[in-house]
Amino acid sequence: MFEWFGISSQALFGQLLIGLINGSFYALLSLGLAVIFGMLNIINFTHGAQYMLGAFTAFFLLQYAGIGYWWAIVIAPLVVGITGIIIERLFLQWLYKLDHLYGLLLTFGLALIFEGTFRNFFGSSGLPYTVPPALQGGQNLGFMFLPNYRAWVVVFSLAVCLTTWFVIERTKLGSYLRAATENPTLVRAFGINVPRMITLTYGFGVALAALAGVMAAPIYNVSPQMGANLIIVVFAVVVIGGMGSIMGAIVTGFGLGIIEGLTKVFFPEASNTVIFIIMAIVLLIRPAGLFGRGA
Amino acid sequence: MANAGRLQSEVIAFLLMACALIVAPMFAYPVFLMKALCFALFACAFNLLIGYVGLLSFGHALFFGWASYVCAHAAKVWGFSPELAIASGTVAAAGLGTIVGALAIRRQGIYFAMITLALAQMMYFFAIQAPFTHGEDGIQAVPRGTLFGFIDLADQTNMYITVLVIFLGCFLLIYRIINSPFGEVLKAIRENETRAISLGYRTERFKLLAFVLSATFAGVAGSTKALVFQLASLTDVDWPMSGEVILMTLVGGLGTLFGPVVGAFFIVTLENYLTTMGQWVFVVQGMIFVVCVLLFRRGIVGELAQRLRIKL
């Protein structure tokens, strides 16, 4: 352990690690938002609530069925993804021809319903979720103590992000998806079932949010409003990065997480607001966003 | 001829509304009515932006809440008279509106909504940290004072008349703005911005001015509410408040003159009945959002105007 400008290396790297973890969640959530927006032309305000639902599904599985973390990380995204597909079929499919704003308002309403219901049953205090046994403990790296679970979260979410990028940008399935984003009518004319693709895309984007929720459960506790404030920060991340590029969403997410972590070390008063301030600066200099292609 | 009929229906509706509001204190609690009137003005201010320029602001609580903080602080700590306190809150909202508007109009559509939401959340964090807002407690026991030095606002009737005059005055002002040449350009921007630009209008200036006007009226509403309840608190700057004003306008009818007023009275009444139900209020609000967006996009007044074939 050493000191640097009067700040211990543990504090500095500890906050950097927290920044990286927050960054993983920003990246996973903004990635999902970008993929959904690309296909559905809807900004999914329910995304934060679906992140919360993922965490609660993991909590229920452990509490009532004794099913642990490793199964939860598969089951929770599946369950929430399926509810997402139901939501798309029941509500969202009627809005594609309308102004974007109606999609935002409808998903905002759904978020209120989910969060209100959970707050009724579970209050606003957090419920604990234990770290899985295989990832307990940590490594002493000399300059900091690295908890195993946190290292896992960063590595695993990076892997999920890069896999998503690979699937969308480098595979046949991804090329259909990108083509349908550009011109759905033409892709339909080639005999591809675009409406089903839209439904599955929504399910997938939502599943990513639920996955982030499961990973967050052991770190932040499980609480009904865990997604509400996060989603607003993720919106700022999306404005900064622009929704045009998958890699852009990943880089912006991790980058802003790190900046936020560093702010906590050097200027803690601004740690809540630094991302919004960066958003304002980006709007002044590059209105389309760092990776955006026009408004 | 059609134009004259249109004008008439609006004038008759306005006179009916004014009469109803004058006799209303005989049937309902004045504090409830004043709350509804403040929210009605807030919703009218919001509607100026969404209904006539097509811009969805998801951060209007910022202007409403910060105006109420500034007004409460001015009345309590600086000892300002009520008219000056309301003016200070309004000026603060106009200033914030200029900054937020200048940033937000750089992007359109969905991004505009996200930017206003994010900036409002930033100012919410400032409200938590700034010492003068007193954090969770808010600014309590704000004196209502005496208006123009001779009208004692501690008297409930005087306060009600003051709120009513402010509301009706701002309502007429908004009506005037919507029907001015400036308002016509705003509607042109809503329908087709590219075309408005090609006709030589500098649309970003029109949008900014509309944003500032909307923030200013929201500020009047927030300041008045601070005096009525003698309280300015975090609830008024938080994002659920931004959601609530959207809901009021949506229920009443986006882009209708009287819609926001009807919507505000509807939602405030509903919440009055649901106060004992705790968090279910949010669930009910969410359901109304879903139903309105899927089945009832014209809203109450929009639907009525359609049925009666008049303009409201």
**What does the pLDDT look like over B172-228, one tens digit per residue?**
999 999 999 999 999 999 999 999 999 999 999 999 999 999 999 999 999 999 999
Residue A18 lies inside a defined structural domain of this protein: no
Q: Is A123 on the interface with B (CB under 8 A)?
A: no
Residue A20 lies inside a defined structural domain of this protein: no
Residue B276 has pLDDT above 90, yes or no: no
Which chain B residues are closer than 8 Å to A235 by Cβ? 114, 117-118
Structure tokens that stand for B184 in this block: 């016509």
Residue A6 lies inside a defined structural domain of this protein: no
CA gap B42, B36 in Å, rounded: 10
Q: Which of A224, A247, A268 is the last residue of a domain?
A: A224
- Per the CB < 8 A criterion, the answer to whether A52 and A185 are in contact is no
Which chain A residues are closer than 8 Å to B281 by Cβ? 116
Q: What is the pLDDT of residues B76-93, one digit of tens each?
A: 999 999 999 999 999 999
Interface of B with A in 18-57 (CB under 8 A): 50, 56
Q: Is A110 on the interface with B (CB under 8 A)?
A: yes
CA gap B189, B175 in Å, rounded: 18
Residue A180 lies inside a defined structural domain of this protein: yes
CA gap B83, B145 in Å, rounded: 9
Which chain B residues are closer than 8 Å to A122 by Cβ? none
A178 and A242 co-located in one domain = no
Q: Calculate how close chain B gets to A59, using CA atoms only, in Å.
A: 21
A163 and A42 co-located in one domain = yes
Q: Is B122 on the interface with A (CB under 8 A)?
A: yes
**Would the CB atoms of B294 and A106 count as touching at under 8 Å?**
yes
Structure tokens that stand for B45 in this block: 């201010």
A61 and A203 co-located in one domain = yes
Structure tokens that stand for A12 in this block: 């500095």
Element (H, E) at A158: helix A148-170
Q: Is A273 on the interface with B (CB under 8 A)?
A: yes
A35 and A92 co-located in one domain = yes
CA gap A238, A58 in Å, rounded: 27
- The residues that bridge with A4 in the sheet, in sequence order, are A7
Q: Is A269 on the interface with B (CB under 8 A)?
A: yes
Q: Is B199 on the interface with A (CB under 8 A)?
A: no
Q: pLDDT at position B301, please?
A: 93
Most B CBs within 10 Å, among A42, A88, A89, A105, to test the B interface: A105
Residue A5 lies inside a defined structural domain of this protein: no
| In chain B, domain spans | 2-308
CA gap B287, A175 in Å, rounded: 37
Q: What is the mean pLDDT of residues A148-158?
A: 94
Q: What is the mean pLDDT of residues A221-250?
A: 90
A143 and A231 co-located in one domain = no
Cβ neighbours for A221, distance < 8 A, ≥ 6 positions apart: A126, A127, A128, A129
Q: Which of A191, A224, A257 is the last residue of a domain?
A: A224
Rg (CA), chain B: 19
Give how many domains chain A has, as a whole number. 2
For chain A, the maximum distance between any two Cα atoms, rounded to a whole number of angstroms, is 65
Q: Which of A138-152, A256-270, B1-15, B43-57 has the lowest mean pLDDT?
A: B1-15
Q: What is the mean pLDDT of residues A162-182?
A: 92
Which chain A residues are closer than 8 Å to B280 by Cβ? 116, 120
A212 and A274 co-located in one domain = no
A111 and A177 co-located in one domain = yes
User: pTM of the full predicted structure?
Assistant: 0.92
- Which of A95, A104, A229 has its CB closest to that of B113? A104
- Report the CATH number of the B2-308 domain: 1.10.3470
CA gap A205, A272 in Å, rounded: 26
Q: Is B195 on the interface with A (CB under 8 A)?
A: no
Interface of A with B in 227-246 (CB under 8 A): 228-229, 232-233, 235-236, 238-239
Q: Is A268 on the interface with B (CB under 8 A)?
A: no
**Would the CB atoms of A120 and B283 count as touching at under 8 Å?**
yes
Instruction: Residue A64: count other Cβ atoms within 10 Å of its Cβ.
Output: 8
Of the pLDDT bands very low, low, confident and very high (cuts 50, 70, 90), residue B7 is low
A237 and A140 co-located in one domain = no
Q: pLDDT at position B47, please?
A: 96
Q: Which residue of B has its CA nearest to A229?
A: B121
Cβ neighbours for B18, distance < 8 A, ≥ 6 positions apart: B168
In angstroms, the Cα distances linking A278 to A237, A252, A272 are 9, 11, 12
CA gap A145, A9 in Å, rounded: 10
Q: Calculate how close chain A gets to B220, using CA atoms only, in Å.
A: 26
Cβ neighbours for B101, distance < 8 A, ≥ 6 positions apart: B207, B208, B211, B212, B215
User: Which residue bears the tokens 């209105």?
Assistant: A287
User: Which residue bears the tokens 């969404």?
Assistant: B50
The parent domain of residue A253 ranges over 227-295
- Helix axis angle for A100-122 and B280-295, nearest 10°, is 160
- Which of A105, A106, A117 has its CB closest to that of B283? A117
Structure tokens that stand for B106 in this block: 């750089």
**Would the CB atoms of A276 and B122 count as touching at under 8 Å?**
yes
Q: Which of B160, B204, B201 is nearest to B184 (CA)?
A: B201
Of the pLDDT bands very low, low, confident and very high (cuts 50, 70, 90), residue B1 is very low
Residue A1 lies inside a defined structural domain of this protein: no
* A127 φ, ψ (degrees, to nearest 5): -105, 135
A213 and A236 co-located in one domain = no
CA gap B109, B120 in Å, rounded: 17
- Per the CB < 8 A criterion, the answer to whether B214 and B62 are in contact is no
How high is the mean pLDDT of chain A? 90
CA A236 to chain centre: 13
Structure tokens that stand for B245 in this block: 């004003």
- Per the CB < 8 A criterion, the answer to whether B38 and B225 are in contact is yes
Q: What is the pLDDT of residues B44-73, one digit of tens each?
A: 999 999 999 999 999 999 999 999 999 999
A118 and A256 co-located in one domain = no
Q: Is B192 on the interface with A (CB under 8 A)?
A: no
- Which of B111, B121, B283 has its CB closest to that of A113? B283
A286 and A194 co-located in one domain = no
Kind of pairing between the strands at A138-140 and A7-8: unpaired
Q: Give pairs for A247-252: CB < 8 Å, separation 24+.
A: A247/A165, A247/A169, A247/A291, A248/A289, A248/A290, A248/A291, A248/A292, A249/A27, A249/A30, A249/A31, A249/A33, A249/A34, A249/A291, A250/A27, A250/A31, A250/A161, A250/A162, A250/A165, A251/A291, A252/A26, A252/A27, A252/A30, A252/A290, A252/A291
Residue A134 has pLDDT above 80, yes or no: yes
Which chain B residues are closer than 8 Å to A228 by Cβ? 239
Q: What is the ipTM of this complex?
A: 0.91
Which chain B residues are closer than 8 Å to A101 by Cβ? 50, 56, 109-110, 113
Percent of chain B with pLDDT over 70: 98
Residue A214 lies inside a defined structural domain of this protein: yes
Q: Which of A182, A205, A224 is the last residue of a domain?
A: A224
A72 and A138 co-located in one domain = yes
CA B46 to chain centre: 5
**Would the CB atoms of A116 and B126 count as touching at under 8 Å?**
no
Kind of pairing between the strands at B151-152 and A145-147: unpaired
